[in-house]
Structure 1
Amino acid sequence: MKKLSPEILEKLKGIKAVVFDVDGVLTDGKITYDNKGMEFKSFNVKDGQIIKHLRKNNILTGVITGRDSRVVRNRCEELKIDFHHHGIEDKFNVFFKEMSRRNIAADQVAYIGDDINDLPVLRIVGLSATPADGHYKVKEEVDLVLSSEGGKGAVRELADLILEATGTYDLILKKQ
């Protein structure tokens, strides 16, 4: 595990939910359209694999994204993300409604976002993170700037840290 401060390690141990933005976090932020207007995005399989392990270890997973995309809906459904909201301008209120509904305090949540529209949520969660290529204003305010870029393992990196800190990573490895 990478060298983390004792404060960050404590925050990681208390995480009960991980919430993600999509474009720039689960993807590299690029959108491709074909001549018929079909939208394409690339997702990192390693991010998807670790999301399944979070869920297996009773860590709630969620997506709150500003764009509404069938491609993203399909990916969320494939990964069995516990909740996902699309086309959301006010991520803060959606976040609070979801966490309240599930009796999870904001300080028990890790949120990973990459742009300024994520700041209202990043500012109030227990552990805030951004990919290596996150917006510079976001990097100034989060607990963790990850080594990996969005769509290139950033979600995997954060989830690995959470699972290692909570002691469940070794259990996953023994089951393999």
Structure 2
Amino acid sequence: MKDYFLNVSQEVWDKAANIKLLITDVDGVLTDGGIIYDDNQLEYKRFQVKDGQIIRYLQENGIKVGAITGRDSLVVRNRCEELRFDFHLHGAKLKYDLFFDQIGKMGLSVKECAYIGDDIIDLPILMNVGLSAAPADAMVYVRDKVDFVSSFNGGFGAFREVADVILQSQGKLRGIVEDLSVKRFGK
């Protein structure tokens, strides 16, 4: 199944094999980074369903999922709750401090954590985790610093690709796919 991920180096496979927590930024990773306000100041965002679909499978396979976002948005809070993130932290001005507080509470080391970010505010975490990743449309100076650049843009499957690489590196993706194929098609 490794053939699905031709742009993944051996170093990334090795780092991904140790991940127990996948944390993501929201705007620019889970969304395309756009924010729409209507005349009543209601906020709208577009999320990729494929990104959300994999969260359950990560958690069922022992990988926790979290979000640390610089904005405080009810839309994002609702999406994180709907997807049953293990934690989600909003309005973060110093994401780095919140990251270290959270992994300390969870008893995890930085090597056991992956982070997906797209902009300058994410760099302090990206430079310190076991596996760092960015969407294809992240800022160039972010892409230059991470272990893995997704072939997908933010809001278009970048989170899903990173999650699939982690599950594959740990030998779990094939089992998920095969189990679902058997249940659905009776094979």
Place the TM-score, normalised by the shorter chain, in its bin.
over 0.9
* Partner in structure 2 of residue 56 of structure 1: 60
- Distance in 2, matches of 1:147 and 1:173, equals 21
* Partner in structure 1 of residue 140 of structure 2: 136
Q: How does the TM-score come out when normalised to structure 2?
A: 0.92
- Distance in 1, matches of 2:82 and 2:55, equals 11
Q: Any idea what SS the aligned residue of 1:62 has? A: strand
CA RMSD of aligned residues (A): 0.7
The letter for the 1-side match of 2:62 is: N
The letter for the 1-side match of 2:100 is: F
Which entry has the higher C-alpha Rg, 1 or 2?
2
* Partner in structure 1 of residue 5 of structure 2: 2
* Partner in structure 1 of residue 102 of structure 2: 98
The letter for the 1-side match of 2:139 is: H
Q: CA deviation at 1:91?
A: 0.5
Is 1:122 aligned with 2:148?
no
Percent of residue pairs identical? 51
1:7-26, Cα deviation, whole Å (9 max, x unpaired):
11110111100000000000
- Distance in 2, matches of 1:52 and 1:33, equals 30
The letter for the 2-side match of 1:149 is: N
Q: CA deviation at 1:175?
A: 2.0
The letter for the 2-side match of 1:50 is: I
Which structure 2 residue ranges, 5 or more long, are not aligned? 181-187
The letter for the 1-side match of 2:136 is: A
Q: CA deviation at 1:5?
A: 2.1
Q: How does the TM-score come out when normalised to structure 1?
A: 0.98
Deviation >6 Å, runs of 4+: none
- Distance in 2, matches of 1:114 and 1:8, equals 18
- Distance in 1, matches of 2:10 and 2:148, equals 13
* Partner in structure 2 of residue 74 of structure 1: 78
- Distance in 2, matches of 1:7 and 1:160, equals 16
Q: Any idea what SS the aligned residue of 2:111 has? A: helix
* Partner in structure 1 of residue 93 of structure 2: 89
- Distance in 2, matches of 1:110 and 1:168, equals 17
The letter for the 1-side match of 2:5 is: K
In the alignment of these two chains, the number of paired residues is 176
Mapping of 1:158-173 within 5 angstroms?
158-173=162-177
Q: Any idea what SS the aligned residue of 1:87 has? A: coil
